[in-house]
Structure 1
Amino acid sequence: MRIYIVASAVGLAGVMSGASAREAHGETLPSSIQAESADSGLIVTGEKLRRSLQDTPASVAVTTSRSIEEQGMISAYDVLDRTPNVAVDGNRTTFSMRGIDAFNVSGGGEGALASIYVDGAPIPRLALASGPLDLFDVAQVEIWRGPQSTVQGRNALAGSVIINTVDPGFDWTGRARLLLTDEDGQRRAGIAVGGPIIEDEIAFRLAAEASKAAGLIHNVTTGGNGDPQRSNTLRGKLLLEPRALPALRLLGTLLYDRHQRGTFYTELDPPYDPHARIVTSDIQDKKRVTSAIGTFSTEYEIDSESVFKSVTSYSRIRFRSLSDANRTAIPGQLSRMDDLTRTFQQEVRFNFRRNWVDGLVGAYYLRERRAYSYSALQSLSLVNLGIGRQLQAAGLSPAMAEAVLNLYGGILPISNDLANPRMTNNHAGFVDLTFPLGQRMHLRLGLRYDAETQIQSATQRIAIDRHLPDPERLAAPALAPVVRRLNSLLLGLVQGANSAEPLRRVRYHAWLPKLGLSYDLASNVALSLTAQRGYRAGGSGFNEQRAESYDFAPEHSTTYEWAVRSSWFGKRFSLNANLYRTDWRDQQVLIQLTPGALYDTRIVNAGKSRLHGLEIESHAAVTRTLALFAGLGFGSARFKNFPLAGDTALESAQGKAFPLAPRWTLSGSATFSHPKGWLANLNANHRSAYYQSVMDQRVRDIPARTIVNAKLGWQGRRLGAFLTAANVFNVQKLNQFFVDVDGRRCGTLNPPRILGVSLEGRM
């Protein structure tokens, strides 16, 4: 049992405060959330309209700052892990929505299938491994399940995650948090303060947090920690509401964030115990993400029913890693990765509300520049290069082919340098309208035109890093002709992989419509039916073994969704549900051109899939002191057609399930909050078993697991004290695994039981 002792001080909006309590203490939600929260409950912003959760047909799960504090959530992955029909991978580098991995289902494609936005700025793929996703001073997290392509645009075929931090207010507020752990040496300290600079005209908010932890993994080779973690976050916001222009609201946000962590994977096979969380690398793995994000929004209220808004953002996010390429104690293998993404976004939109229509019209521009480089000293498996298969095809017996490969140690040591700069420009115009058809019915129409241009090049330099066997000095001279031929083949293979591809330009465009109909069955019950199109742009790929570039086309989806929104007993109980079906075509599929050769691949548009499922969520204020939540997700995601490279020839994955797609996800929580300050929270989440890959689906190789967490304590006016328990029953199950080049299994287990003590206060 791992015992964590935590000491923290948390400011004005403590664990017991909800949205209304925050207003009383002066903490301010983002304006688009705050505007109607007093009248309509939770307000969601992901569709870029001020719309209550109960008036939103799309499937969206909302986690407020109150829930974040009650349940002791630290990272956005904690929220994702407790959301129905969402699953997080074992090392917390990606997630799936409705069975669709955020980045890759069929092995191919460049753009994301789901995106995370922090204060309006997108977080690049590699940055999700260790990026600016901590929840300190966050106002609200919205998880939108299903295609958001019409309004959000690119990289939202599966959904999106919207993270809004706390805005400045005109009352002085502050919070501080100090968190200590005894076993892994974690230290987490945060402070946030805000208030007026000029009364009712200019306000600011500053938030900072730093953390350090030794992690749960031990490196038996170096004798140190395998996954040390560090982070530093600094965010500043400035709000201007000039008296001379009372209809104008200006908000600027600057964020600097640096996160670092170590290795993801531990040894699973004997002599190591998987629960010991051991690694054997001869160097310390390091993965560092440095983020600088600036956002500036202008909002002008033309009249009480018309608002113009402009949002400008620029981000510079850099991922760098240093890793042991073979993950063993054998020295000499090293890989470095450097991925710098610079993104500029500009969006303007006009929101309006009339008696006959309610909606928005907008335009969007994105310019993204990505500089990716990779260098390594590594040993490639000759089997994975397809050499063994080629030897047998030339007439050698399996035993003879194995004997030849053993002369090379079964590997080809190489030095590899790859540079792959990419540029993306995206232009879009969009409209989202709601028309009343009488007193009870509403027609929803949306349309987006999305045009994208991509430019990229690739330069690869590969060299063999040791002498090949000399055919003239073999112990078995009869093998000399085979070795001579194989040497020539390997030299030619390496030479052919060297290239300097010129700039390639590809263009894509798409019309993305949405059509919906809502009917108010009663004042507290609404039914909706929506059909909409999802989209992921095409792109260019690079075959490392052949040193060839190629293009692939976009992929599209059509989703039909039925929704129920209901509230009962004076809005003390809500029951919401979404039932969906998605048809996905032209999927970007990664296939092997040479059977058995893992590096001889190409992306083609050949996949078709069908998904269906449902989400049900319910909130209940049972009494003034007891609140309950329950959520259920069911999903089936299978390929209708999908060519993939098997052991001997192209096969079909028809009927096979998506990886990282559990059929069932459940979550629930119970919170007791007494007027005297006592608070208790118990929450649980369950994920059924799922397949890890498309290739092998004999069994669901990632087992089901249920995690229970708890928090118990007392919150006074200024100070609170709590006991916390994460993973109460110490469930430790396999989350992810793979077979390394030398045949051993590596992977991850979910964290063990964590007990803690926390002190929380407000100034």
Structure 2
Amino acid sequence: MPLTHTEAKERIAAGLRRMNAIIQVFVGWIPMFITRPLVIPIALIYSQLAVAQSSTSQTQDDIEVIVVNAQKRQQDIRDVAVAVTLIDGEQIARQHIKDTTQLAALAPNMKSSKVAGEGTAPSFNIRGIGMFDYNTSTVSPIAIYADEVVSGGANFLDSTLYDIQRVEVLRGPQGTLFGRNTTGGAILLTSVLPQAEFSGYARASVAEQDYRALQGAVNVPLADNTAARLAFNHVDYDYSIQNLDANGQDGGMRQNSVRLLVASEWENASLLFKLYSEDWQGAPKPIYSAGILKASGTGARCLPDEVGSRSCVDSFGFAPATDDFWQTEADTADKRHDTDSWGASIQWQWQVNQRWSLKSITAHKDLERFHSFDSDGPGNFIEGSLGSDNQFFSQEISVSRQGENSHWMAGLFYLQEELKQQNDLDLFRDFRANPATAGGAVQFFYHNTLENQSFSVFSQLDYNLSPDWIVTAGLRFTDDSTEYHAFADMDVVGAYIPGVWDLRGEVDDREWSGKLALVQKLSSRTSLYYSYSRGYKSGGYNGGFASSEAQAVDSEYAPERLNAWEVGARLQLPQWDMNIDLAAFWYRYQDQQVFINRTTGLAPYHVLKNGGDSRIQGLELSLAYTPVSQLMLDLNIGYLPKAELGEYQEEDLYVAGTQLPFTSEWNISALVQYEINLAGGRLLSQLGFDYQSDFYFDQNENPYLQQQGYSVWHGRIAYQPNAQWEVALWAKNLFNRQYHELKFDSIAALSAVTELRGEARQLGVELSYHF
């Protein structure tokens, strides 16, 4: 019987009180966690969950089963010793999440950024572990798996999200089943698979900033056991920042993507073929060059809060023409972006008998990219381009056995990737016009080739010790190698100098990683897990912007290793219509790879180095609450009281005990969804936010490079007159919050901070049709 309005209000109020009690328990851990970092309060967690579970009296049929693929097979989430966030594809579409870098608002303790602008290598950070580096040679400690194929290098991390069935964010080292280099975590993307019926949809959207989008898919059965699905996505948009420079442009991007899936199912075997292509064209977002010197000409510096206003100038006396946050001056008329990529994969699975199965995944990817950038505003002092020609191949073969009380999986993994870089860095070009300063102008051309190979053998066993205990033991051996050839030319006034340096080398690493975990089932609805993981990320060569042979030689870096301890709990409370996930973790890093920005020279010098033995610890809470059938609430809380960089010293640079770059103490997000019947149809509404507390964009805790805490709100309201049609209004950054995607230290060269500013409020309308 439907609830009355009064009954619904009372139930919501009672549910909110219960939710508050749960949060208070979570917050109550914090003092213990700070003062006793080596002693996780397991007894407190156990007692609270046991008390809550003792009041549950529903039958086994009432149990909600949440299925995840966090261990490369479908399992009840309560049987998995992994911190995992499951995101439904419909939620991604409703929130207009365009690509993988916009997923951070949906998982606790996760951050992401485009770093150097749209189309460049993105940066991901999970639990303080990430790689805030624009360089295309960097291999991120966060891996993307699209339909079970690993991302590879940085160029392949930025994946467009369309026609997605689900996303799983795995937090913490995934050093057994997933490789390579997943010390931070893994993001699993699953496309909507072909179905045995003719169906499809089309979705069109327009919005501010000249935003136009068209997305859709058609599903076609080809035979009794074979079907195909063709999906496409077109997005065309401008950036919200306005470029006032006469020799500038506002910038924008047009992205076209298409994907074909063909699936066949037989009695004992299955086959999935995937072919995709992407074409991106546009111009980079204009940067904002924020001077730090007082306009009075005394040479005194502005306070950090004053930077970005007309009262502050750079070394050349430049100040912005306006205090409007979304207006800038940058000579970007000749800047452009172009990406062409395609890939194919084929995976087959053979169920040999009731216990044994075999699986093979073969993939190839190809990408060509050019991206030019401006880092100095209206002048020509620091500019350049990033060019990439990237080929990738991977092969994985695995065997698994399902026993009465166990599941065993073992396999081989091979990856080969070649990256050819054609980058350039143009320094102080404006000096060339004056003979007195022409000697300070130089342009470097980098012709780097990197060949990466990775071979792994892995095995994992899940064994039911009893109906209440599951033990997981996994081990992986990895052999990684990077061969590099770094070759550079130099152009100065009156001369072009080829072969300023010509370096060849190889970095070869071999390492064991793995996991040991226990899952304890307190009941059919509640479980605890305890795990130890050993993570590993190989060394390599950081083909960045060097300005001397010594810097190019110094671009090798060594492997990093991570020991991670974690305890978690999963609780289903049907009497409260609530699911709760809790996790507490403690990380000890050895030789953590950190993007180091040297800030003393006129030429930019930033390189990936091993920053020491860092320490990270934190807590997480994820809550899904349905007080009434029409109302749903999702809440994610991530807390990192300690994310501390280890000791690092090189010449005049010394860092110890600073906050890890791009890491906030608090990450909180929430989403409220409500739906009612109206005029023969359905009205759906949602409102959510993502909050990040203060963080720094480099390792020095430079106050000029600090992002203050901020919240970004989003919302949507839609009406469905029937099952086929939907019309919706949506908004991003609803309250027009000002924030930064990047702050880069250009103080030594320009007395300025180079900024990429976040997107302003965007309002749009959308129309969808399903058939």
Cα deviation per residue 1:686-708 (whole Å; 9 max; x = unaligned)?
A: 11111222223458820111122
Q: Which secondary structure state, in structure 1, belongs to the residue aligned with residue 592 of structure 2?
A: strand
Unpaired runs of at least 5, structure 1: 1-37, 383-405, 468-493
Query: How do 1:252-267 residues align onto structure 2 when only pairs under 5 Å count?
Result: 252-264=273-285, 265-267=287-289
- Correspondent of 1:721 among 694, 706, 727: 727
User: Could you say if the C-alpha distance between residues 632 and 293 of structure 1 is closer, same or farther in structure 2, counting changes exceeding 3 Å?
Assistant: same
Please give the per-residue CA displacement for 1:217-259, whole angstroms capped at 9, x wherever unaligned: 33333566422110110110111224xxx21110100010122
CA distance in 1, matches of 2:422, 2:517: 45
Alpha carbons of structure 1 residues 65 and 227: separation in structure 2 relative to 1, 3 Å? same
Tell me whether 1:280 sits opposite 2:327 in the alignment: no
Cα distance in 2 for partners of 1:746, 1:417 equals 22
Counterpart-to-counterpart distance in 1, 2:256 and 2:463: 47
The one-letter amino acid of 2:186's match is S
Q: Which runs of 5+ in 2 are unaligned?
A: 1-61, 291-307, 311-320
User: Where in structure 2 are the equivalents of 1:466-615 lying within 5 Å?
Assistant: 498-502=500-504, 504-540=505-541, 544-547=547-550, 548-549=552-553, 551-569=556-574, 572-588=577-593, 596=601, 605=610, 607-615=612-620
Give me the CA root mean square deviation: 3.1
Higher relative contact order, chain-length normalized (CA < 8 Å, sep 6+): 1
Matched, 1:56 2:61: no
Offset, 1:318:
2.1
Displacement, 1:40?
6.3
TM-score (norm 1): 0.81
Report whether the alignment pairs 1:168 with 2:194. Answer: yes
Q: Note closer, same or farther for the CA distance 1:413–1:726 as it changes in structure 2 (3 Å cut).
A: same
Q: Residue 431 of structure 1 corresponds to which residue in structure 2? A: 459
Amino acid at match of 1:659: P
Corresponding residue of 2:164: 138
Q: Which residue of 2 aligns with 1:112?
A: 140
Q: Residues of 2 paired with 1:160 and 1:636: CA distance?
A: 23
Deviates more, 1:587-596 or 1:551-560: 587-596
Shift of 1:736: 2.8
Which is worse superposed, 586-595 or 692-701? 586-595
Q: Does 1:630 align with 2:635?
A: yes
2:67 is aligned to: 43
1:461 aligns with 2:510: no
Question: What is the identity percentage for the equivalent residue pairs of Structure 1 and Structure 2?
Answer: 20
Q: CA deviation at 1:111?
A: 2.8
Aligned residue in 2 for 1:689: 694
Query: After the TM superposition, which of the residue ranges 631-640 and 406-415 deviates more from structure 2?
Result: 406-415
Task: Determine the C-alpha separation between the residues in 2 that align with 1:688 and 1:608.
Answer: 24
TM superposition shift of 1:424: 1.3
Task: State whether residues 557 and 608 of structure 2, in contact with CA within 8 Å, keep that contact through their aligned partners in structure 1.
Answer: yes
Are 2:289 and 2:755, in contact at CA under 8 Å, matched by a contact in 1?
A: yes
| Number of aligned residue pairs | 664
| Structure 2: distance between partners of 1:718 and 1:574 | 31
Work out whether residues 438 and 493 of structure 2, in 8 Å CA contact, stay in contact via their aligned partners in 1: no
Check conservation: 2:375, 2:382, Cα contact below 8 A: yes
The alpha-carbon deviation at position 603 of structure 1 amounts to 6.0
Deviations 1:159-204 (A, max 9, x none): 11111111101011101111223x42222112210121113x1100
Task: For 1:595 and 1:746, locate their aligned partners in 2 and report how far apart those are by CA, in whole Å.
Answer: 16
Amino acid at match of 1:293: G
Residue matched to 1:395: none
CA contact (8 A) 2:560 2:593 kept: yes
Helix, strand or coil at the partner of 2:162: coil
SS of 2:522's equivalent? strand
Partner of 2:366: 316
**Distance of 1:429 and 1:202 partners within structure 2:** 33
Deviation at 1:205, TM superposition (A): 0.3
Q: List aligned pairs for 1:333-482, cutoff 5 A.
A: 335-379=384-428, 408-409=436-437, 412-465=440-493
Cα deviation, 1:416-456, whole Å, max 9, x if unaligned, reads 22111111111111111111112211111000011112211
| SS of corresponding position for 1:156 | coil
CA distance in 2: counterparts of 1:699 and 1:378, whole angstroms? 23
Q: Distance in 2 between matches of 1:167 and 1:204?
A: 8
CA 1:39–1:205 in 2, change beyond 3 Å: closer, same or farther? farther
Distance in 2, matches of 1:443 and 1:571, equals 30
> What is the one-letter code of the residue matched to 1:180?
V
Alignment partner for residue 95 of structure 1, among 107, 124, 128? 124
Partner of 1:396: none
Normalised by the length of structure 2, the TM-score is 0.80
- Maintained 8 Å contact 2:697/2:744: no
> Any conservation in 1 of the 2:599–2:745 contact (CA below 8 Å)?
no
> 1:127 touches 1:318 (CA, 8 Å); kept in 2?
no
CA distance in 1, matches of 2:331, 2:150: 33
Matches within 5 A, 1:592-741: 596=601, 605=610, 607-639=612-644, 641-644=646-649, 649-651=652-654, 653-675=655-677, 676-697=681-702, 701-715=706-720, 716-740=722-746, 741=749
Point out the more displaced range, 207-216 or 699-708: 699-708
Q: Specify the SS of the correspondent of 1:135.
A: coil
Quick one: which amino acid aligns to residue 359 of structure 1?
A: W
1:177-196 → structure 2 map (5 Å cutoff): 177-181=203-207, 183-196=208-221
Give the deviation of 1:600 after TM superposition.
7.0
Which AA in structure 1 matches 2:72?
Answer: K
Q: 1:426 to 1:734 in 2, by over 3 A?
A: closer
